[in-house]
Chains A and B, each alone.
Chain A
């Protein structure tokens, strides 16, 4: 049976509706492609040129990277990153987990205490750096305070000691970020199935044992999240160094981010600066890619 089939034509407005989602997303897509990936590519290209004060596009192969490898300051900065990053991550994790576990014990005014631990995250690293630079001031800061309190002859001049200045950075960074680790773990602890804990208690385990052997191991995803974010903060650390030490004394507390800024914008070594930026990207990728890989593999096993 074939009666006449009327068909309502699609109006231009209908076509617009179909395209609208793509149109709305398009500017952001463009921004991301250009501003993120396009610019990374540009920097990548620059790292193979001999740009100095102005960008030039003369190809010099890996020369800039070679210069980096020869540069003592870059080595100092890289070594500092490992020391700073390692200590910062480790101590922040320990402090954060400890505080989270303690707060998990049904503490009165828990919310208030939590607020205090977390407030440093709301501050700029410049403010943090400024504050700790004063606190650790050799002569007027911590050492004067302790001397006034009775500890005669106490000296604390790490801030101007080339071998120890990195530890000052660690102290300030841990102060800022450990509250964040605490918040992450507290949320994770709250999500732990209480019946597991009860089963362990019935089995006779003591509370510390339960935390160490059962609860914390089950929070591995939180560990990795925290690790990733702390590592990210460490690698990008620029503000803190700028405020606390400006890389000094000399360049003993330099970090790659500071190096990059200094060489690119102050010393007119754009090629080398670009190379250092690409190496920083490499560092982040070297942590990110295995992490993502293990995440995806983990999901497939589930």
Chain B
């Protein structure tokens, strides 16, 4: 397995058009699983095509095991790809599909048969070897596509939204299988998805992309707990983070946020004291699961009384929507809490988990509460 490094990679499609990829810097170690996640048009598929050599980069370098492969054609890069549409050769049966790349590389027939056998056993598709792709279900085609990639034993595996065409249940199953396979085979993998659940569950490292830039690169936990900007914070997490626009107040030299639910007010102390912050429009970010029902005995955490406007029981949780500072706020509570529309609940916040963002630039302002986990690059705060 190989290391992959992207150094200052740029891609543009011509003068006059904005760059599709801007200054991409990434590094993953051998055996790591990197997720590229972002909305449509963010450039993740383009980046993947560049790594594969299907498109040429305009600047920078792509290094595999410290060797620059930027000038090589796709077939020499020793990279295999699993496509969203599976891209199986329709006129060949499953066996020939898997063997195609090996035949081109002039592998001896006996070795090819061994590889096909190994891979089909691994993916449990032995019984499908004689069938044509048109006779397979979506999930089966998916496995064959993976088998085709595995048979090549490449240095790097690329997955381009492989689960998007599957139904929800199958998607969850295949997700687990991919994770298991990665644990077994320890393959260096780059995986593109727009689904943030896949990003969180599958990746060792995650790169969140928008408009051709990497907004943040780190472990899933870092991305989740320590988003670098508004976009990353809003993109990861379901239900999404609550954003409350407000202005900070300075009281006795310390900054605090004033929350108003219409029924009550609450002053949320923040651990920042930088000068000038109270003059800026800021956005307070707090995740739904970080808002809880205040316990009967006071525990020192700030709380506020608010009227329940919508309830959404999801089974494992109860989502309760209230209004704070004229903004709809989602709270994730335990499912057995008796809350109905119109009831008033006292909600409490953990100020240590509250995040602050600059309203104009979207960048994260300092870190509120405990410092973030230190390793990994929480780099490129260039979001906008």
Q: Is A152 an interface residue (CB 8 A)?
A: no
Q: Is B69 an interface residue (CB 8 A)?
A: yes
Q: Is A107 an interface residue (CB 8 A)?
A: no
Interface positions of B from 53 to 85, Cβ below 8 Å from A: 61, 63, 66-69, 71-73, 76
Task: Please measure, in the bound complex, the distance between the C-alpha atom of A3 and the C-alpha atom of B61, giving whole angstroms.
Answer: 14
Interface positions of A from 2 to 41, Cβ below 8 Å from B: 3-10, 14, 17
Task: Please measure, in the bound complex, the distance between the C-alpha atom of A7 and the C-alpha atom of B76, giving whole angstroms.
Answer: 12
Contacts of B73 in A (CB 8 A): 10, 14, 17
Smallest beta-carbon distance A22→chain B, Å: 16
Residue of B nearest to A9 (CB): B71
**Contact indicator B72/A10 (Cβ below 8 Å):** yes
Smallest beta-carbon distance A14→chain B, Å: 5
| A3, A10, A14, A17: the one within 8 Å of B66 (CB) | A3
Smallest beta-carbon distance A275→chain B, Å: 44
**Contact indicator B71/A10 (Cβ below 8 Å):** yes
**Contact indicator A5/B71 (Cβ below 8 Å):** no
Smallest beta-carbon distance A246→chain B, Å: 52
Smallest beta-carbon distance A299→chain B, Å: 22
Residue of A nearest to B67 (CB): A6
Contacts of B63 in A (CB 8 A): 5
Interface positions of A from 174 to 194, Cβ below 8 Å from B: none
Task: Please measure, in the bound complex, the distance between the C-alpha atom of A7 and the C-alpha atom of B66, giving whole angstroms.
Answer: 10
Interface positions of A from 196 to 234, Cβ below 8 Å from B: none
Task: Please measure, in the bound complex, the distance between the C-alpha atom of A5 and the C-alpha atom of B61, giving whole angstroms.
Answer: 10
Residue of A nearest to B7 (CB): A5
Residue of B nearest to A3 (CB): B66
Smallest beta-carbon distance B258→chain A, Å: 48
Interface positions of A from 248 to 278, Cβ below 8 Å from B: none
Contacts of A9 in B (CB 8 A): 71
Smallest beta-carbon distance A36→chain B, Å: 29
**Contact indicator B68/A6 (Cβ below 8 Å):** yes
**Contact indicator B66/A8 (Cβ below 8 Å):** no
**Contact indicator B66/A5 (Cβ below 8 Å):** yes
Contacts of B68 in A (CB 8 A): 5-7
Smallest beta-carbon distance B64→chain A, Å: 10
Smallest beta-carbon distance A41→chain B, Å: 31
| B61, B66, B69, B71: the one within 8 Å of A4 (CB) | B66
Task: Please measure, in the bound complex, the distance between the C-alpha atom of A6 and the C-alpha atom of B61, giving whole angstroms.
Answer: 12
Task: Please measure, in the bound complex, the distance between the C-alpha atom of A17 and the C-alpha atom of B72, giving whole angstroms.
Answer: 12
Smallest beta-carbon distance A13→chain B, Å: 9
Smallest beta-carbon distance B26→chain A, Å: 15
**Contact indicator A5/B67 (Cβ below 8 Å):** yes
Task: Please measure, in the bound complex, the distance between the C-alpha atom of A7 and the C-alpha atom of B69, giving whole angstroms.
Answer: 7
Most buried by B among A5, A8, A10: A8
Task: Please measure, in the bound complex, the distance between the C-alpha atom of A91 and the C-alpha atom of B68, giving whole angstroms.
Answer: 69
Smallest beta-carbon distance A55→chain B, Å: 45
Residue of B nearest to A15 (CB): B73
Contacts of A14 in B (CB 8 A): 72-73, 76
Smallest beta-carbon distance B247→chain A, Å: 45
Contacts of A8 in B (CB 8 A): 67, 69, 71-72, 76
Task: Please measure, in the bound complex, the distance between the C-alpha atom of A81 and the C-alpha atom of B67, giving whole angstroms.
Answer: 71
Contacts of A5 in B (CB 8 A): 61, 63, 66-68
Contacts of A4 in B (CB 8 A): 66
Residue of A nearest to B77 (CB): A8
Residue of B nearest to A6 (CB): B67
Contacts of B66 in A (CB 8 A): 3-6
Residue of A nearest to B63 (CB): A5
Task: Please measure, in the bound complex, the distance between the C-alpha atom of A7 and the C-alpha atom of B71, giving whole angstroms.
Answer: 8
Smallest beta-carbon distance B288→chain A, Å: 41
Contacts of A7 in B (CB 8 A): 67-68, 71
Smallest beta-carbon distance A11→chain B, Å: 9
Contacts of A3 in B (CB 8 A): 66
1/0 per residue B68-108: CB within 8 Å of A? Answer: 11011100100000000000000000000000000000000
Smallest beta-carbon distance A265→chain B, Å: 49
Contacts of B71 in A (CB 8 A): 7-10
Task: Please measure, in the bound complex, the distance between the C-alpha atom of A14 and the C-alpha atom of B72, giving whole angstroms.
Answer: 8
Task: Please measure, in the bound complex, the distance between the C-alpha atom of A10 and the C-alpha atom of B68, giving whole angstroms.
Answer: 12
Residue of A nearest to B76 (CB): A8
Interface positions of B from 268 to 323, Cβ below 8 Å from A: none
Residue of B nearest to A2 (CB): B66
Contacts of A10 in B (CB 8 A): 71-73
Contacts of B76 in A (CB 8 A): 8, 14
Task: Please measure, in the bound complex, the distance between the C-alpha atom of A5 and the C-alpha atom of B72, giving whole angstroms.
Answer: 14
Smallest beta-carbon distance A223→chain B, Å: 36
Contacts of A17 in B (CB 8 A): 73
Most buried by A among B68, B73, B76: B73
Contacts of B69 in A (CB 8 A): 8
Give 5 closest A-B pairs by Cβ, nearest first.
A6-B67, A7-B68, A3-B66, A5-B68, A14-B73
Using A8-B76, A10-B72, A10-B73 as known contacts, list a sample of 17 further A-B pairs with CB atoms less than 8 Å apart, ordered by residue number in A: A5-B61, A5-B63, A5-B66, A5-B67, A5-B68, A6-B67, A6-B68, A7-B67, A7-B68, A8-B67, A8-B69, A8-B71, A9-B71, A14-B72, A14-B73, A14-B76, A17-B73
Provide 20 A-B residue pairs closer than 8 Å at the C-beta atoms, listed in order of the A residue: A3-B66, A5-B61, A5-B63, A5-B66, A5-B67, A5-B68, A6-B66, A6-B67, A6-B68, A7-B67, A7-B68, A7-B71, A8-B69, A8-B71, A8-B76, A9-B71, A10-B71, A10-B73, A14-B76, A17-B73
